[in-house]
Amino acid sequence: MNALLVLITLAQTPRLGTISFPTSGAPAAHEAFVRGVLYLHSFEYDSAANAFRAAQQLDTAFAMAYWGEAMTYTHPVWNQQDMAKARAVLSRTPAPPTPREQAYLSAVRSLYGEGGKARRDTLYANAMQQLTADYPDDAEARAFYALALLGLNQGVRDVATYQRAAAIVEPILEANPNHPGAAHYLIHAYDDPAHAPLGLKAARAYSQIAPDAAHAQHMTTHIFLALGMWEDVVRQNEIAAGPHRDHWGPNHYTQWLGYALLQLGRDTEARQLLETMRSNAQSANARGYLIRARAEYLINAERWDDPARAWEIDRDGLGAVVLSIDAFALGYAAAKRGDRAEARQRLAQLNEIRASARPDGPNVAPARVPAILAKELEAAILVKQGKASQAVTLLQEATALEDAMPVDYGPPDVVKPSHELLGEVLLDLLSRKDEAVREFRRALSLAPKRARSLAGLGRAGLDL
């Protein structure tokens, strides 16, 4: 009977990878703590917090269990932080019994101390750097230091800093090929078309390291999407979204899934997915993903008169980027089907968003994306008026703006990439083939194997 219970327990233990993280906690509490750290490395923050709370209940004097829960309230790569919850945890944290654990608590207290977020993030990164110097054999300290570096620029990719993070975690993964944090943070560090080949090994490994973490299954597709590996993007996001397809709502996983289906030409499946997402859209966050998914469908499937364009989606509480994507996609579809009145109405909406939008610290997207999309939509209207040369001038301005943006990841915020659109206008209306080819190639350097850019090269007579 005891053996059977052990087998049942092992079968129920989530497969999240393996780490070594010695602490002063009681054995049972330490086991729950390690599970929390494993969830933390895979950004499964709610599950991590539950595991850390369980560790606290098993050993109320276990200071590192409180450290862990506090860590779940900062999401560095996503530029999210809940100060109130973190400070509440730290206010009841017992004194740690060892110098090493004291260093961990001191570092996290600097993360939630006084001053603005950027300053506190820097202080925290500096504290973790010192911890790695004091305890060079502590792989977890090095992993969390690398994660701190990924969050220094407030959710905006800083290539040089990301490569510093990669250099820290590469040796961790080499020493422990089952380390979820090392694989995960390497994927983030290499998550752009120029560096993605360096992250392919980590992406292949991560799905096997943490098969019971949904985010781990999705995270592999950051590399796959950056390389245009669309079948892999579909497979892994289907796993991440879960087995109950009827309940799939609009979220990070399903949006990426829909985009990949469109790149494969599986438009009917993408449309079915969009309908399922619509039926399960609840929160403002979900509605934002639904708007993105609808825009991607209209633009990439080129179904300008699809009934989805008439869906009434509550836009309350949504940000400038999502609102501009929505206005552009609906306006571009209207221009393509010859409805100039709606196209101009959507352009007016875009210009209102552009006029009021401002950068969010180093994140220029809230201001830059509406400006680019407004130029694109105005160009589309000009094309319909027979003014292709004027449209080209506007699109050249749009490409300059897009090229000046930091490297992003995933389905593009500029839902119709400006180089792709410029290439189409140059090729289809002005017969400027060589210039069009250059634009399509530039679009593909930013979004490898994107279907519409490849189609443009095909129309130009290039061998794909």
Q: How far apart are CA 361 and CA 158, in angstroms?
A: 14
Exposure on the CB side of residue 148, measured as CA atoms within 13 A: 28
Q: Which CATH number describes the domain made up of 2-227?
A: 1.25.40.10
Rounded to whole angstroms, the Cα distance separating 48 from 342 reads: 48
- Sorted by where each begins, the domain ranges of the chain are 2-227, 229-308
- Strand-pairing partners, residue 75, are 80
390: enclosing H helix or E strand: helix 388-403
Is 240:214 a contact under the CB 8 Å cutoff? yes
Predicted confidence at residue 8, as pLDDT, reads: 35
Nearest 5°: the CA angle 453, 456, 459 is: 155
Strand positions, DSSP E, 291-356: none
Joined together, the tokens standing for residue 436 give 């069009």
Q: What is the DSSP string of 152-176?
A: TTTTS--HHHHHHHHHHHHHHHHH-
What contacts 24+ positions apart, CB below 8 Å, involve 330-334? 330/298, 331/377, 331/380, 332/298, 332/299, 332/376, 332/377, 332/380, 332/416, 333/298, 333/299, 333/304, 333/305, 333/306, 333/309, 334/304
DSSP state of 186: H
Write down the pLDDT at residue 282: 84
Residue 217's Cβ-count burial label (10 Å; 0-12, 13-18, 19+) is buried
What's the burial of 202, exposed, middle or buried (CB within 10 Å: 0-12/13-18/19+)?
A: buried
Closest of 113, 112, 69, 106 to residue 89, by C-alpha: 69
Q: Which two tokens stand for residue 330?
A: 């609906």
Q: What angle do CA 88, 93, 96 make, to 5 degrees?
A: 155
What's the whole-model pTM score?
A: 0.92
Neighbour tally for 24: CB within 10 Å: 16
> What is the DSSP secondary-structure string of 83-96?
HHHHHHHHHTPPPP
- φ and ψ at residue 112, rounded to 5 degrees: -115, 30
Which pLDDT does position 424 carry in this prediction? 97
Identify the CA nearest to 452 among candidates 226, 259, 309: 259
Which pairing describes strands 80-81 and 74-75: parallel, antiparallel, or unpaired?
antiparallel
**Interatomic CA distance for residues 64 and 67, integer angstroms:** 5
Q: What are the phi and psi torsion angles at 360 (to 5°)? A: -105, 85
Burial of 387 (0-12, 13-18, 19+ CB in 10 A): middle
Secondary structure class of 398 (helix, strand, coil): helix
Low-confidence ranges of the chain (pLDDT < 70): 1-12, 463-464
> Could you give the CA distance from residue 148 to residue 151 in angstroms, rounded to a whole number?
5
Helices (H), 242-319: 252-263, 267-279, 284-301
How remote is the C-alpha of 3 from its chain's centroid?
A: 43
Report d(CA 60, CA 153) in Å as an integer.
36
Find where tokens 């020493």 sit. 175
